[in-house]
C-alpha cells in the first residue's frame, strides 16, 4: 500500500543519541542493537528479568557474551516484583471479572516503556529502542506517528497502541522495515549468535500457554460450575466455571445441540454461560475504556479502522466519545469483540490513532 508516509532513516533518528536498547536475548532485539550500533548511536543494552532465575541466567549469560563482542555495556534489572504487580496480577483480576485479558499489550506501557525505560533514563539515556516490527513515520496531516511495520504478517503496532504518545514517538524501532526472514539473514551475515534462538510463547509467564492451570496454581478464588443457556434463556447444559471460557470459543463446551454452539457472553452475577449459533457471533459495535490517544480524538476522521485482536484485518468503524469511553459502530460485519482484549485504532493508511480495552 502506498501510504504517503515518510520513514526517517535509522541514522537520522538515532545517530549521536544515547539509546537504551531493550534486549531479551532473542533475534529481534539482538539485530536491533546491532543496527543501532551501526547507525552511530551511543547504545546501552538494558535487560529486565522477570521470568524466574533459570531463564534469567540463560538469557543474561548469552547477552553478556554478545554485548561484550559488540562493545555495548549491558545493564540487568530485576523486575520480578514490578512485573507481577503491573502485568500478572491485572491479568488474573481480569479473568476473575469474566474478561479475557491481553497481557502483552499491557506489558509494553508498564514494563518496557515504563519501569525499564525509567531505569534507562537514570543511566542517561534519552531514547528507547525495541525489536518491535513497527515504524515511526512522518505524516502530512498528523506529523510524527506510529505506523504499521513493513512486514504485514509480523506487524506489532497492535501491541503498542497502549503506550503513551510521548514514550512511543520518542522510541526507535530498527526492524520496522524488515521481515522476520531478513532478521535471521542479517544476523547470520554478521556471524552474530542468538542467545535465545527459540520464538517466545504466546504468554511468556504462563507455562505451556495453559492459562487455566496457571490460575489454579495461583490459588485465587475461582468461580464454580453453573448453567449454560441460549440468548433467550433456554437451558442447554452446564459449564465448569466461567473463567474457563472466552467469547467466541467453540471447542471444549461439552454441550450437545442441533447446531454448533459458541460462547457469546458471560453473566458473572448469575454465573451463566451464554451460548449461541455462529450467526449470533456478529456484533454491531463495541465500547472501550482506558483509552490511550496517540492522535487526539478531535483529529480523527469520520471513519477509522479498528483491530480487536492481533491477527485480524482492520475494519472500518465510526467512533464516538461517551464520557470516558469510546463507542465504535461497525460499518462492516464484525465478529463479536472479546471484553478484556485490546482495540487498536488506525487511519486507512495504517497510522495508529490509539488503543483501549474492550469492555462490552
Q: Are 47 and 60 in contact (CB under 8 A)?
A: yes
Three-state secondary structure string covering the chain: CCCCCECCCHHHHHCCCEEEEECCCCHHHHHHHHHHHHHCCEEEEEEEECCCHHHHHHHHHHHHHHHHHHCCCEEEEECHHHHHHHHHHHHHHHHHCCCCCCHHHHHHHHHHHHHHHHHHHCCCCCEEECCCCEEEEEECCCEEEEEECCCCCCCCHHHHCCCCHHHHCCEECCCCCCCHHHHHHHHHHHCCCCCCCCCCCCCCCCHHHCHHHHHHHHCCCCCCCEEEEECCCCEEEEECCHHHCCCCCCCCCCCCCCCCCEEEEEECCCCEEEEECHHHCEEEEEEEEEEEECCCHHHCCCCEEEECCCCCCCEEEEEEEECCEEEEEEEEEEECCCCCCEEEEECCCCEEEEEEEECC
Residue 231: how many CB atoms within 10 A of its CB?
A: 12
As a whole number of angstroms, the longest Cα–Cα distance in the chain is 67
Task: Kindly name the residue from 49, 141, 204, 278 that is annotated as catalytic.
Answer: 204
- Whether 107 sits among the annotated catalytic residues: the reply is yes
Bridge partners of residue 265, in order along the sequence: 274
* Selection from 284, 263, 289, 345 nearest residue 98 by Cα: 263
Three cell numbers, residue 108: 509494553
Instruction: Give me the catalytic one of 67, 107, 125, 286.
Output: 107
CA atoms of 349 and 339, how far apart (whole Å): 27
Catalytic annotation, residues: 107, 204
Amino acid at each position: 500500500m502506498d501510504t504517503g508516509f515518510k520513514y526517517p532513516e535509522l541514522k537520522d533518528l538515532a545517530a549521536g543519541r544515547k539509546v537504551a536498547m531493550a534486549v531479551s536475548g532473542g533475534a529481534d532485539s539482538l539485530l536491533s542493537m546491532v543496527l543501532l550500533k551501526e547507525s552511530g548511536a551511543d547504545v546501552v543494552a538494558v535487560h529486565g528479568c522477570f521470568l524466574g532465575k533459570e531463564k534469567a541466567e540463560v538469557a543474561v549469560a548469552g547477552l553478556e557474551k554478545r554485548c561484550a563482542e559488540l562493545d555495548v555495556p549491558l545493564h540487568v534489572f530485576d523486575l520480578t516484583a514490578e512485573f507481577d504487580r503491573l502485568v500478572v496480577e491485572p491479568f488474573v483480576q481480569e479473568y476473575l471479572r469474566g474478561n479475557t485479558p491481553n497481557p502483552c499489550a499491557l506489558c509494553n506501557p508498564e514494563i518496557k516503556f515504563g519501569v525499564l525505560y525509567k531505569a534507562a533514563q537514570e543511566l542517561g539515556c534519552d531514547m528507547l529502542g525495541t525489536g518491535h516490527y513497527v515504524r515511526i513515520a512522518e505524516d502530512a496531516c498528523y506529523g510524527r506517528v506510529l505506523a504499521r511495520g513493513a512486514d504485514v504478517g509480523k506487524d506489532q503496532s497492535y501491541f503498542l497502541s497502549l503506550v503513551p504518545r510521548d514514550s512511543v514517538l520518542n522510541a526507535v524501532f530498527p526492524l520496522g522495515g524488515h521481515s522476520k526472514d531478513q532478521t535471521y539473514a542479517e544476523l547470520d551475515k554478521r556471524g552474530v549468535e542468538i542467545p535465545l534462538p527459540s520464538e517466545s510463547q504466546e504468554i511468556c509467564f504462563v507455562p505451556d500457554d495453559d492459562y487455566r492451570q496457571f490460575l489454579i496454581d495461583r490459588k485465587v478464588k475461582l468461580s464454580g460450575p453453573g448453567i449454560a443457556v441460549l440468548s433467550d434463556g433456554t437451558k442447554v447444559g452446564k459449564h465448569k466455571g466461567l473463567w474457563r471460557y472466552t467469547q467466541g470459543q467453540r471447542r471444549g463446551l461439552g454441550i450437545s445441540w442441533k447446531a454448533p454452539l459458541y460462547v457469546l457472553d458471560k453473566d458473572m452475577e448469575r454465573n451463566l454461560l451464554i451460548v449461541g449459533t455462529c450467526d449470533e457471533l456478529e456484533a454491531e459495535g463495541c465500547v472501550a475504556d482506558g483509552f490511550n490517544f496517540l492522535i487526539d480524538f478531535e483529529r480523527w476522521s469520520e471513519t477509522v479502522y479498528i483491530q480487536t485482536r492481533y491477527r485480524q484485518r482492520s475494519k472500518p468503524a465510526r467512533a464516538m466519545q461517551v464520557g470516558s469511553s469510546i463507542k465504535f459502530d461497525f460499518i462492516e460485519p464484525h465478529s463479536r469483540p472479546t471484553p478484556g482484549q485490546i482495540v487498536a485504532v488506525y487511519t486507512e493508511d495504517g497510522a495508529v490513532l490509539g488503543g483501549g480495552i474492550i469492555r462490552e
